[in-house]
Chains A and B, each alone.
Chain A
Amino acid sequence: MLIDKKHIGMKVPPHSVTPTAWQLKWFAKATGETNPIYFDDAAAAQAGLPGVLVPPTFFFCMDMDKDHPFDYLETMGCDLGKMLHGEQSFVYHKPVHAGEKLDFDGVITDIYDKKNGALQFVVKDVKVRRQGELVCDVHSVMVIRA
């Protein structure tokens, strides 16, 4: 069944995340990061940063950091078991550090299909703000297989 395009423009329930040095330490370990500004408070302070630096792709992790990260697909009646991550992109405006509270405010910007509906695409664009200032745009394309 094709997803109803009436959902284009739907707002995603907003959420807020404060990245922690603890989680960023594990992220750095998992991804083989060796630059201590990404996992060591003292090194970040020495580099003049207010906290360890949030790495480029961690904005996706924070966007997913909510009880039901794919709530918007559930609202559309999608089977999450048939979901794939198709594309992911970011536009960066300001650096972000551990301890800074971020607000995630998303909207569904497109829904389309290919191969006669065998693949459906749901596009979500999220504005990430710190105290009202835009720090990052997060653009995600999820694919739902028939």
Chain B
Amino acid sequence: MTKPNYDALNVGDAIPSFTTEPVSRLTLALYATGSGDHHPLHLDQDYVRSKGIPDVFAHGMLGMAYLGRLLTQWVPQAAIRSFGVRFTAITQVGERMVCTGKVVEKLEHAGEKCVRLELTCANEQGEAKHKADAVVALA
């Protein structure tokens, strides 16, 4: 991994993006195992239909995990100072998640050179599911 350089980065620069495979029922089952969140809203179609919801949908934290991967593909995890997300829409089965990020600020934080990133997890139609913000320390 080539670590990004603070001086070479400018506000507006994009970080490398990726698009996930479509979120499947298997993805949700795997995430339930990995996360320990077995809420039936994400797994049990009979349950969700009994609640008047047409289908199971993705765990919000799955999308945040994708954005975490976007960060750790760009910098070693130890460089991440903070990472926060607002959940704005539900991710449906079958959607691919487009994960993108850009530099929105260069700052000094606790004596370190840092960049603030704006990250978005959206579907292929551009509907944002999660909007996130991260501060990353760079040399």
Give the size of the chain B interface in residues (CB under 8 angstroms).
Answer: 32
Count CB-based A-B contacts (< 8 Å). Answer: 99
- Nearest CB in chain B: distance from A88 CB, A: 5
- The verdict on B37 contacting chain A, using a C-beta distance below 8 Å, is yes
Asked if residues B84 and A57 are in contact (CB atoms below 8 Å), the reply is: no
Residue in B30, B35, B84, B85 whose Cβ sees the most chain A Cβ within 10 Å: B35
Asked if residues A57 and B72 are in contact (CB atoms below 8 Å), the reply is: no
Which chain B positions have C-beta within 8 A of A25?
Answer: 34
With A30-B62, A32-B21 as contacts: A89 and B82 at CB distance below 8 Å: yes
Which chain B positions have C-beta within 8 A of A88?
Answer: 60-61, 64, 84-85, 87
- Nearest CB in chain B: distance from A63 CB, A: 10
Asked if residues B71 and A56 are in contact (CB atoms below 8 Å), the reply is: yes
Interface positions of A (Cβ within 8 A of B): 23-33, 35, 53, 55-58, 60-61, 64-65, 81, 84-92, 95, 139
Interface positions of B (Cβ within 8 A of A): 20-21, 27, 30-31, 33-37, 51, 60-62, 64-66, 68-69, 71-73, 77-78, 80-87
Which 7 pairs of residues, A with B, have the shortest CB-CB distance? A89-B84, A27-B34, A30-B30, A26-B34, A30-B31, A56-B68, A31-B65
Query: Could you list some 6 contacts between A and B, CB below 8 A?
Result: A33-B69, A57-B61, A58-B35, A61-B37, A85-B87, A90-B84
